[in-house]
Amino acid sequence: MPHELLQRNREWAASQDPSFFEALTEGQSPRFLWISCSDSRVPANEIVECHPGDLFVHRNIANRIDHDDLNGLSVLEYAVEVLQVPHIVVCGHYQCGGIKAAMEHTDHGLIDNWLRPIKRCYHQHHDELDRITDDHKRWDRLCELNVIDQVEGIASTTVVQKAWQRGHEVTIHGWIYQLANGEIHDLGVEVDSPDQVPPIYRISASSSALGDA
Ligand SMILES: [Zn+2]
């Protein structure tokens, strides 16, 4: 019941050292932008034993950051330009319901629009995915590929590329959480320089937002 949450909050607040809250009121300087799924089984701070102030968190279904999503891009811009985070972690998870829904051919309603980029990701990798005969393994592999897709997509944003041009070192990491044992697996797809961005997405340091006349 909701009132139980309020009661737990009072107990939690009372159990903390008052200096803990004083420090937090002075501002935040997290070192990580954490992007993960809204799934209730993958809470951000808990699975990496972080405290308030440690992670700047953005969560949505299937941990997407798409270029037409004002919400996600605003979080990314604030984290990079204002908070100056040195690390962006995309942490997906196996058995993601959003990924599963994207693999189906049923009408799920509005959410199908949100999941559509995952179908594109599947299509890009259909040769590999279609060869996986085990449905569960194919699902889990798409969970991984979806994370890699986000790492590449974030690296290609103007937000990240302009940060690199300013000399702000920021690395994007792709990780995946295993519901079965609570462990996070590093997919080894770090991107930390424009050289790793496909040429067509690169912006030159001399270009302005208005372009050349
Ligand atoms: Zn999920």
Whether 143 is catalytic is no
d(CA 26, CA 181): 37
Question: 30: helix, coil or strand?
Answer: coil
User: Is 66 among the residues known to form the active site?
Assistant: no
pLDDT band, residue 205 (cuts 50/70/90): confident
Name the CATH superfamily housing domain 29-95+146-201. Answer: Carbonic anhydrase (3.40.1050.10)
Give the pLDDT confidence of 149-187 residue by residue, as tens digits.
Answer: 999 999 999 999 999 999 999 999 999 999 999 999 999
Reply yes or no on whether 31 is catalytic. Answer: no
**Whether 96 is catalytic:** yes
Q: How far is the CA of 163 from the centre of ligand 1 (A)?
A: 29
- Going by C-alpha positions, the residue among 123, 96, 82 that lies closest to residue 38 is 96
Domain spans of the chain, in order of start: 29-95+146-201
For the entire predicted model, the pTM comes to: 0.94
- Give me ligand 1 centre to Cα 98, in Å: 5
State the catalytic residue, choosing from 87, 93, 141, 173: 93
